[in-house]
């Protein structure tokens, strides 16, 4: 049984949207709503002063393209600056922040591809480019949160999709029946950690930290904590005390699709 091109492309676009949201959250402290609408095509030739970024990957053929009009990448870069309580109007600095968002996003996509292909995949050698961009099919990606409103266009080169066509994985194809050899993995030990929350702190504030300083996290007292196994959120629960030690009572085990979205 082989994977289909639409299935591979849908998976890659979903990964990119999830990683894009995570990159914004890391840099701004808040996770935006990121919508990837595969039915919505974008004519990138109509964009004003677009920035077209082509990202190849070591270990696989092909590349992922991300294009944004000038107003959109300036808005995205400005969101990062505003989160740091900075006012910046220099396009070069705003562009640098936007490209850092893309770098984090595509590094995460590379990590996901490596897991699926079971070989090393690293995002490297990305650059602004226009060569061949007119032949690509572009999918709309919308990023929304507060003052942040940015519209991007994403395209996956056919050569990259080809890398997956002979590779069946549970997260893309229909889940196979449990193999008898799966029991060999039962004794494998995995690191488990609990996340109480995160904070985005400006460097100037980090340098001011001393004994007794308090860092406010983005989670209320009553909110559930996240149980993370091997860098993937697999459940949420409440903190309890067991024989003098902290523990977590599981309240929710998240779905396989959501686990993919929470990979870090």
Q: What DSSP assignment string belongs to 71-125?
A: HHHHHHHHHHHHHTT-----HHHHHHHHHHHHHHHHHHHHHHHHHHHTS--EE--
Q: What is the reported pLDDT for 257?
A: 58
Whether pLDDT at 227 is above 80: yes
Is pLDDT larger for residue 185 or for residue 182?
185
Q: What is the reported pLDDT for 98?
A: 94
Mean pLDDT of 181-202: 76
Beta strands 127-128 and 148-156: pairing type? unpaired
Q: What is the reported pLDDT for 262?
A: 58
Q: What is the reported pLDDT for 264?
A: 46
Whether pLDDT at 1 is above 50: no
pLDDT category at 85 given cuts 50, 70, 90 is confident
Q: What is the reported pLDDT for 231?
A: 72
Residues of the chain with CATH 2.30.330.10: 180-261
Choose the weakest-confidence range: 32-46, 176-190, 238-252: 176-190
Mean pLDDT of 188-211: 85
* Chain centre to alpha carbon of residue 135: 26
State the pTM of this model: 0.64
Whether pLDDT at 181 is above 50: yes
Report the phi/psi class of residue 86: left, alpha or beta, with left for phi > 0 and alpha for psi in -120 to 50. Answer: beta
Mean pLDDT of 128-150: 89
Whether pLDDT at 6 is above 50: yes
Q: What is the reported pLDDT for 83?
A: 86
Is pLDDT larger for residue 90 or for residue 169?
90
Whether pLDDT at 76 is above 70: yes
Residues of the chain with CATH 3.40.1550.10: 5-162
Contacts of 90 (CB under 8 A, 6+ apart): none
Where does 180-261 sit in CATH, by number? 2.30.330.10
Where does 5-162 sit in CATH, by number? 3.40.1550.10
Q: What is the reported pLDDT for 168?
A: 52
pLDDT category at 183 given cuts 50, 70, 90 is low
Mean pLDDT of the chain: 85
Angle 33-36-37 from CA coordinates, rounded to 5°: 125
């Amino acid at each position: 049984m082989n994977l289909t091109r639409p299935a591979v492309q849908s998976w890659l676009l979903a990964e990119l949207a999830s990683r894009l949201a995570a990159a914004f959250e890391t840099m701004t402290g808040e996770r935006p709503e990121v919508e990837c609408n595969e039915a919505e095509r974008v004519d990138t030739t109509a964009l004003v002063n677009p920035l077209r970024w082509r990202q190849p990957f070591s270990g696989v053929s092909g590349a992922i393209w991300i294009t944004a009009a000038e107003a959109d990448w300036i808005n995205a870069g400005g969101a990062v600056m505003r989160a740091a309580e900075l006012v910046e109007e220099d396009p070069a600095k705003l562009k640098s922040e936007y490209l850092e968002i893309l770098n984090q996003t595509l590094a995460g996509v590379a990590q996901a591809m490596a897991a699926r292909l079971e070989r090393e995949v690293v995002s490297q050698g990305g650059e602004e480019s226009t060569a061949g961009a007119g032949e690509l099919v572009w999918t709309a990606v919308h990023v929304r949160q507060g003052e942040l409103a940015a519209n991007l266009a994403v395209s996956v080169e056919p050569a990259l999709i080809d890398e997956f066509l002979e590779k069946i994985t549970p997260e893309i194809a229909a889940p196979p029946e449990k193999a008898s050899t799966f029991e060999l993995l039962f004794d494998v030990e995995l690191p488990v950690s609990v996340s109480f929350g995160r904070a985005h702190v400006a460097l100037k504030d980090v340098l001011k930290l001393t004994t007794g300083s308090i860092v406010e996290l983005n989670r209320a007292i009553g909110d559930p904590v996240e149980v993370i196994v091997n860098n993937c959120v697999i459940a949420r629960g409440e903190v309890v005390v067991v024989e003098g030690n902290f523990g977590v009572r599981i309240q929710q085990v998240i779905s396989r699709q959501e686990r993919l979205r929470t990979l870090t």
